């Protein structure tokens, strides 16, 4: 376990035990580092990682606070961040998904039919009304699967289906932790569908690449906090 992972795990234990609760202020850096048996540098890296995914809120001149998310959500986020640090396959899987989604969109731009375009527009309307991030991600999965089916390539459909479940947790956490994730997703979905409607494979490929890269970039940023 890296020093950053160790620091994150120790802060997680403080939340598990109830010692730190949503809204609580963390002890001073020097005091907390000494108490947890960590160097101030490793604690600082952990705080930076936890701030990136909005588990901690660093307020200049005031201190560092546990965010207002409830304890269950905080613990799941902590577990997800540790998973990212331990498993490079998360980012590798997202890289593969980016390449395959781009290929599927380019093919779909050639073969998509009017009723399939109607389905995509319907899904975008439904996405705007989703009450939870889980519903939003389910809608997103259906949106991308519909494009894969429109590619008329069953191998691409099968490959993307196999990757969908392995990337859904990253997509959920990006939606929770990145404030503009929903708006960006909807904007990029519309750009992809407009390219499909225009039967522009080059444009559909480009927008699909940009769109899927958003989750990949977010996950890579979270992993980049690992200094061990």
CA nearest to 223, candidates 82, 12, 78: 82
Residues 181 and 151 in one domain: yes
CA angle 22, 27, 28 (to 5 degrees): 140
Which of 86, 110, 133 is at the close of a domain? 86
Q: What is the pLDDT of residues 184-213, one digit of tens each?
A: 899 999 999 999 999 999 999 999 999 988
Please identify every stretch of the chain with a pLDDT value under 50, giving residue numbers as ranges: 1, 225-228
- Phi/psi at 57 (5° precision): -120, 110
Which residue range forms the structural domain that includes residue 134?
A: 89-223
Report pLDDT for 178. Answer: 64
Q: Are the beta carbons of 145 and 129 closer than 8 angstroms?
A: no
Q: What is the pLDDT of residues 33-56, one digit of tens each?
A: 898 888 888 888 788 777 766 678
Report pLDDT for 3. Answer: 65
Report pLDDT for 226. Answer: 45
CA angle 96, 136, 181 (to 5 degrees): 70
Residues 70 and 158 in one domain: no
Instruction: List the CATH number of the domain containing 130.
Output: 1.20.120.530
Instruction: List the CATH number of the domain containing 29.
Output: 1.10.10.10
């Amino acid at each position: 376990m890296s020093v950053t992972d160790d620091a994150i795990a120790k802060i997680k234990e403080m939340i598990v035990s109830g010692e730190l609760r949503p809204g609580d202020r963390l002890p001073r850096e020097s005091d907390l580092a000494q108490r947890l048996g960590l160097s101030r540098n490793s604690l600082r890296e952990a705080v930076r990682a936890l701030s990136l995914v909005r588990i901690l809120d660093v307020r200049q001149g005031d201190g560092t606070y546990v965010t207002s998310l409830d304890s269950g959500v905080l613990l799941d986020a902590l577990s997800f961040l540790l998973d990212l640090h331990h498993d490079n396959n998360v980012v590798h899987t997202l890289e593969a998904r980016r390449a395959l989604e781009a290929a599927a969109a380019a093919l779909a731009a050639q073969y998509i039919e009017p009723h399939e375009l109607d389905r995509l527009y319907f899904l975008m309307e439904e996405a705007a009304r989703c009450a939870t991030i889980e519903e939003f991600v389910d809608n997103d999965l259906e949106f991308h699967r519909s494009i894969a089916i429109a590619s008329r390539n069953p191998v691409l459909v099968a490959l993307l289906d196999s990757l969908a479940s392995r990337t859904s947790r990253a997509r959920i956490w990006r939606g929770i932790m990145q404030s503009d994730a929903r708006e960006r997703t909807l904007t990029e979905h519309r750009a992809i569908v407009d390219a499909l409607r225009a039967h522009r494979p080059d444009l559909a490929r480009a927008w699909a690449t940009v769109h899927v890269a958003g989750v990949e970039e977010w996950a890579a940023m979270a992993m980049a906090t690992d200094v061990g």
